[in-house]
Amino acid sequence: GKKNVQESEQEAAAPSRTQRGGQKNVQAAKEVPKEDPELSDDEAGAGKKRGRKAKEDQASKKNGAEPEEKKSKQEEETIDYGCDKENKKGEKWNLKISTWNVAGLRAWVKKNGIDYVKEEDADIICFQETKCPENKVPAEAKVDGYHTYWVNGVKDGYAGVALYTKEKPLNVSYGINNKEHDEEGRVITAEYEKFYLVTTYVPNSGQGLKTLSKRMSWDEIFRNYLKELDAKKPVILCGDLNVAHEEIDLANPKTNTKSAGFTKEERENMTALLKEGFVDSFRQLYPGKTGCYTFWSYLGAARSRNTGWRLDYFVVSERLMDSVCDVAIRSKVLGSDHCPCTLFLHV
């Protein structure tokens, strides 16, 4: 087996499908509006983010407000985890895939994040930034009915991706065949009968764009990797791509042109990927829809103001787009500074 790669399988019966169209109550956070957000830095920013959040929570308590992740019972939103929409061929969905950057699996479990897995009841669920090798995964994160696959980096508590899937894939591989990038544990590829599923946590370009050159290297290698897969079978790419592609994809484009995630170089590389026969499925379905974000800084109560970024995507091969019924952004689901996204399609 490969170093730093773990795989486990749980053979129990799949959970009931009755939840698929049902409605679940989740509580939205009550916050006090403040400043604009900043994109958290993958490496150095993790500790600072926690420090900022602690200060923010302390300040909020003084003002009599609840911290962001402490769910206020005064505000409650209802989420429909089903989908009534049909694809362009007039078909209802028969495959549901979800993706979520959990910003640390162990912390996410403590915030009852696993409840979402049961409520969404997706056929495939992908997690990014798990920061947790399989031998340290809490027992609560194990869900009956899913085969689970994990990859983590050489550096403990950094990056990491996981795949939960009800149907056992034909094959599972890790990385993008590049030693430098694969040491960080950023990609799992699962081959199914009709498609490849690739889930990834793309490198952040860092505070002050200190790792932008590394990101440029990643983008080219990863694009070529996806093209090779696409030549064999259609591809469904999901995860935290760490780029807001167009101005519509973040709340404050004018002030973030030098920020990681919205540089000219990163945006051009996303365009280059789409020109290779891939489609940003959400934006294809909702070309002019504003305010659709998947990440909000913990700074300044950005989430309650919806001052965010759309960094999490389902990018599909062009020939799969007509099979897509819908893409849902679960902005009311808490537990991380990102929210989950769900793809419904018929394959």
Q: Which of 8, 72, 12, 38 is nearest to 297 (CA)?
A: 38
Which residues are identified as catalytic?
201, 240, 338
242 labelled ligand-binding = yes
245 labelled ligand-binding = no
CB atoms within 10 A of CB 44: 14
SS3 labels along 91-150: CCCCEEEEEEECCCHHHHHHCCCHHHHHHHCCCEEEEECCCCCHHHCCHHHCCCCCEEEE
* Structure tokens, 211: 């790792």
Q: Which of 336, 344, 246, 308 is nearest to 29 (CA)?
A: 336
Cα gap 241→312, rounded to integer Å: 6
338 labelled ligand-binding = yes
129 labelled ligand-binding = yes
Q: Indicate the DSSP class of residue 12.
A: S
**DSSP characters over 306-334:** T--B--EEEEEEGGGGGGEEEEEE-TT--
CB atoms within 10 A of CB 46: 17
115 labelled ligand-binding = no
Q: Are 169 and 212 in contact (CB under 8 A)?
A: no
Q: Which of 122, 53, 185, 139 is nearest to 330 (CA)?
A: 122
CB atoms within 10 A of CB 94: 12
Binding-site entries = 101, 129, 240, 242, 337-338
Binding-site entries for Mg(2+) = 101, 129, 240, 242, 337-338
